[in-house]
Chain A
Amino acid sequence: MIANAAERHIPFAATLVGRRELSPDTALFRVAPEPAALEQLSGFLPGQFVQLSVPGGGEVPISPADLPGEDGTLELCVRRVGQVTGLLHQAAAGQPLALRGPFGTGFPVREMTGHPALLLAGGLGIAPLRSLLLHLLRHRDQYGEITLMYGAREPGLMLFRDELVGLAAAHGLRLYLTVDFAREQAAGAYACAIGLLPDLLKGFRFDAGESYVAVCGPPPLYRCLVGELTGAGVAPERVLLSLERRMRCGIGRCCHCAIGTKLCCTDGPVFRLSEVADIPEAL
């Protein structure tokens, strides 16, 4: 809980301490916030986001890709698309940054205990789901079967592949990787399927009645997956969608992120399908 209202508006200082390129336009940034910010991050739930500032450029919402705070840093998986993300991609270790948060709803990890979890990630959607995955695996014994299906456009754009394969081996994570396009060989080298995520889901057997399903990916993905999932018998309350909208303030004021009459930044970004199914523009 954030004690002081001003702290939700004024970013804390932070420093870029390391970066790792993941694909031609995406990198994993390791950021060390000042102690007061870490304190706030201690309450972080996977699926929540932070408002990251690159001074002089502006501020963007980013969902941490790990469980921030514990080792004094957080990992942000960021794609270069414009002004602020572009500046971040130019930055080297030592670059001063700033951040606020965490904000928004996260995945209901407590409510999910005892249940199987199915994580469906498309493209950059892996970022928040990696955070969720790390949480589930850390508390492995509290959850049922854990499955991650991750689709990328092509093998070179698959993020965290080696790491995910390692996690699967060590923790009994069921991992399915797929790419939209690839030559057979390339796919073979990557040990992944070729096809769209919804197709992969079609042939998949799981305990639909008991499972929680978390989805994050590009907008068209939700429409395809949601039908599959409800068709398979997953309760809409247990379909968890992490949605993205244009966001400016992150705390429910600037109103850019509205979905129907809900705000993505405060009512989301993680919504239950039951909350948004009736909103025409949501998915």
Chain B
Amino acid sequence: MKKPSLAIAGLTACSGCQLTLFNCEDELREILERFEVAYFPMGQSDPDPKRHYDVALVEGAVSTPGDLSALFHFRNASRLLIAFGTCALHGGIAAQKNRSTPRPALLREVYGDRAPQLESFPPAPFKNFVSVDAAITGCPPEKGDLLRLLGAVLAGTLPAFPSYPVCLECRSRENLCLLLERNQLCLGPVIQGGCNARCPATGIPCEGCRGPVEEANVAQELELLLTRGFSREEIERRMSRFTVEWDYGQRS
């Protein structure tokens, strides 16, 4: 059977999702063996950007015209386009001020007089521009999710990831509930699980790195945190860290 060809690329990002591939130390050789690595500048020279890919794993948010044309390229050239990581799926860390500060002001802050020369728009997830076939969430993504996706692609399908919130795994691991018992600003109830509640397991509240769970009762989480004494400002600041597009009135 012909090996599926694989493209791995990044837009506006920290390269963490691509690094996650390298971090599959036990499986990396197997992956490189079973896929034809067609485009992967971070790991392989002389990428050939013109051809067709079976799967493109693309990380990062879209925030420049260059990002956008790269995204269109990968959409057009690939049978399966995978939004790889929270930035690609929800905008991620770079988009956190999209609602609060205009882009030019942010640019000026950092680049001063050079700002107007930079072509940059508010970082946005892939779904604002193209359709994606599947997504792996997480900042950083879980190795296991990446491996499940690659395994599924080899089998001719896409993985079914669970749709429960962080709390389910958190409780099942018998962590202390930081929200109820420590009165900490934990976003677990409205955040997509699958990380095995990594952060609460070490005693740190969930910062929401995997983005909203499918049926988040956002309004209730907000109410809950407000009654526990957090200010609306602080809550929104925290919630927008990885996903800026919350509907604070959503109840389902």
Touch between A and B in complex, CB under 8 Å? yes
For the complex, what is the distance from the CA of A58 to the CA of B152, rounded to whole Å?
11
Cβ of A16 to closest chain B Cβ, rounded Å: 13
Interface residues as binary, A245-275 with B (CB distance below 8 Å gives 1, 0 otherwise): 0000000000000000000000000000000
Residues of B contacting A56 with CB < 8 Å? 151-152, 155-157
Cβ of B158 to closest chain A Cβ, rounded Å: 7
Closest A residue to B154 by beta carbon equals A56
Residues of B contacting A83 with CB < 8 Å? 157-158, 160
Interface residues as binary, A71-87 with B (CB distance below 8 Å gives 1, 0 otherwise): 00000000000010011
Cβ of B160 to closest chain A Cβ, rounded Å: 6
Q: How many A-B residue pairs have CB under 8 A?
A: 17
Interface residues as binary, A92-120 with B (CB distance below 8 Å gives 1, 0 otherwise): 00000000000000000000000000000
Interface residues as binary, B156-187 with A (CB distance below 8 Å gives 1, 0 otherwise): 11101000000000000000000000000000
For the complex, what is the distance from the CA of A58 to the CA of B156, rounded to whole Å?
13
Cβ of B40 to closest chain A Cβ, rounded Å: 25
Interface residues as binary, A21-59 with B (CB distance below 8 Å gives 1, 0 otherwise): 000000000000000000000000000000000011110
Residues of A contacting B156 with CB < 8 Å? 56, 87, 90
Instruction: Decide if B155 touches A58 in the complex (CB within 8 Å).
Output: no
- For window 8-60 of B, CB contacts with A under 8 Å fall at none
Residues of A contacting B157 with CB < 8 Å? 56-57, 83, 86-87
For the complex, what is the distance from the CA of A135 to the CA of B81, rounded to whole Å?
47
Residues of B contacting A87 with CB < 8 Å? 155-157
For the complex, what is the distance from the CA of A57 to the CA of B156, rounded to whole Å?
9
Cβ of A248 to closest chain B Cβ, rounded Å: 12
In this complex, the member of A55, A58, A87 whose beta carbon has the largest number of chain B beta carbons within 10 angstroms is A87
In this complex, the member of B152, B156, B160 whose beta carbon has the largest number of chain A beta carbons within 10 angstroms is B156
Cβ of A90 to closest chain B Cβ, rounded Å: 6
For the complex, what is the distance from the CA of A209 to the CA of B170, rounded to whole Å?
58
For the complex, what is the distance from the CA of A177 to the CA of B60, rounded to whole Å?
53
Cβ of B145 to closest chain A Cβ, rounded Å: 16
Residues of B contacting A58 with CB < 8 Å? 160
In this complex, the member of A57, A58, A86 whose beta carbon has the largest number of chain B beta carbons within 10 angstroms is A57
Closest B residue to A57 by beta carbon equals B157
For the complex, what is the distance from the CA of A90 to the CA of B155, rounded to whole Å?
11
For the complex, what is the distance from the CA of A226 to the CA of B151, rounded to whole Å?
47
Closest B residue to A90 by beta carbon equals B156
Cβ of B37 to closest chain A Cβ, rounded Å: 23
Residues of A contacting B160 with CB < 8 Å? 58, 83
For the complex, what is the distance from the CA of A83 to the CA of B158, rounded to whole Å?
7
Cβ of A29 to closest chain B Cβ, rounded Å: 16
Closest B residue to A56 by beta carbon equals B155
For the complex, what is the distance from the CA of A143 to the CA of B235, rounded to whole Å?
69
For the complex, what is the distance from the CA of A90 to the CA of B157, rounded to whole Å?
10
Closest B residue to A91 by beta carbon equals B156
Residues of B contacting A57 with CB < 8 Å? 155, 157
For the complex, what is the distance from the CA of A83 to the CA of B152, rounded to whole Å?
10
Closest B residue to A86 by beta carbon equals B157
Closest B residue to A55 by beta carbon equals B155
Cβ of B161 to closest chain A Cβ, rounded Å: 11
Cβ of A26 to closest chain B Cβ, rounded Å: 19
In this complex, the member of B157, B158, B160 whose beta carbon has the largest number of chain A beta carbons within 10 angstroms is B157
Cβ of A45 to closest chain B Cβ, rounded Å: 31
For the complex, what is the distance from the CA of A230 to the CA of B89, rounded to whole Å?
52
Residues of A contacting B151 with CB < 8 Å? 56
For the complex, what is the distance from the CA of A276 to the CA of B155, rounded to whole Å?
41
For the complex, what is the distance from the CA of A220 to the CA of B178, rounded to whole Å?
45
Residues of B contacting A90 with CB < 8 Å? 156
Cβ of B147 to closest chain A Cβ, rounded Å: 14
Closest B residue to A84 by beta carbon equals B157
For the complex, what is the distance from the CA of A224 to the CA of B158, rounded to whole Å?
38
Cβ of B96 to closest chain A Cβ, rounded Å: 33
For the complex, what is the distance from the CA of A58 to the CA of B158, rounded to whole Å?
11
Interface residues as binary, A175-202 with B (CB distance below 8 Å gives 1, 0 otherwise): 0000000000000000000000000000
For the complex, what is the distance from the CA of A86 to the CA of B160, rounded to whole Å?
13
Q: Chain B interface (Cβ within 8 Å of chain A)?
A: 151-152, 155-158, 160
User: Which 5 residue pairs spanning A and B have beta carbons closest together?
Assistant: A56-B155, A87-B157, A57-B157, A83-B160, A90-B156
Can you list 17 A-B pairs with a CB-CB distance of less than 8 A?
A55-B155, A56-B151, A56-B152, A56-B155, A56-B156, A56-B157, A57-B155, A57-B157, A58-B160, A83-B157, A83-B158, A83-B160, A86-B157, A87-B155, A87-B156, A87-B157, A90-B156
Q: Chain A interface (Cβ within 8 Å of chain B)?
A: 55-58, 83, 86-87, 90
If A83-B158, A83-B160 are given as contacts, then 6 extra A-B residue pairs at C-beta distance below 8 Å, sorted by A number, are A56-B151, A56-B152, A56-B157, A86-B157, A87-B157, A90-B156
